[in-house]
């Protein structure tokens, strides 16, 4: 194998998606709060 890679397990995918979802929600909340308090 060229890069010595290994397949990603299902629990690793769950962790990756959970972290991504948390980041997405935090950024969305920040945008909403900035728009609400800007005026």
Q: What is the pLDDT of residues 1-39, one digit of tens each?
A: 688 898 999 999 999 999 999 999 999 999 999 999 986
Please report the pLDDT score of residue 20 as a whole number: 98
Length reported for the chain:
39
Please report the pLDDT score of residue 39 as a whole number: 62
Taking the C-alpha atoms of residue 38 and residue 27, their distance in angstroms, rounded to an integer, is 16
Please report the pLDDT score of residue 1 as a whole number: 61
In the chain, domain spans: 9-39
Please report the pLDDT score of residue 31 as a whole number: 97
Please report the pLDDT score of residue 15 as a whole number: 98
> Which has the closest alpha carbon to 24: 35, 16, 34?
16
Please report the pLDDT score of residue 24 as a whole number: 99
């Amino acid at each position: 194998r060229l890069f010595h890679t290994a397949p990603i397990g299902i629990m690793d995918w769950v962790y990756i998606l959970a972290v991504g979802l948390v980041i997405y929600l935090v950024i969305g909340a920040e945008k909403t709060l900035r728009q609400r308090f800007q005026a």
